[in-house]
Amino acid sequence: MPKSFNLALVAGEFHRDRVTRMVDEARLVAAANGLMVIEELWVPGSMEKPLALKQLLQRPDIDAAVALGVIEKGETSHGIVMAHAVLNAIIALQLALMKPIGVGIPWSRDQSTTNGCPRYSL
């Protein structure tokens, strides 16, 4: 029997209603593709995702992870700086740990334009 492929989901509390829909969709997509979500971890926001991903992916029973959340553009460049920093950290983790990380963190101008649909983000 082939080994199951185990996933971890790391989700941000910021915009929890939208991110919950993303987590639900990610679980459906994973199941439809024969993947097992064995861990779901909620963190305050995107800044905390790289550390949580690293801790989870160091476990031998987790083969890959998906980071889910929302980053708003806002009135300053903070949102774009955060998006770049988080994505760079996630890419570095993939390379260091040799385990894939899917990213479903849409970047939106404001709350009204982020509908929380990871099907097109993953």
**Which is catalytic among the residues 24, 36, 77, 78?**
78
Residue 93: φ, ψ to 5°:
-65, -45
- Round to whole Å and give the CA distance between 6 and 63: 5
For the question of residue 84 being annotated catalytic, the response is: no
Integer CA distances (angstroms), 15 to 59, 84, 118, in order: 28, 19, 14
Q: 10 Å Cβ neighbour count for 106?
A: 22
- Round to whole Å and give the CA distance between 67 and 27: 12
Task: Choose among 71, 63, 47: nearest CA to 102.
Answer: 63
The set of catalytic residues is: 78
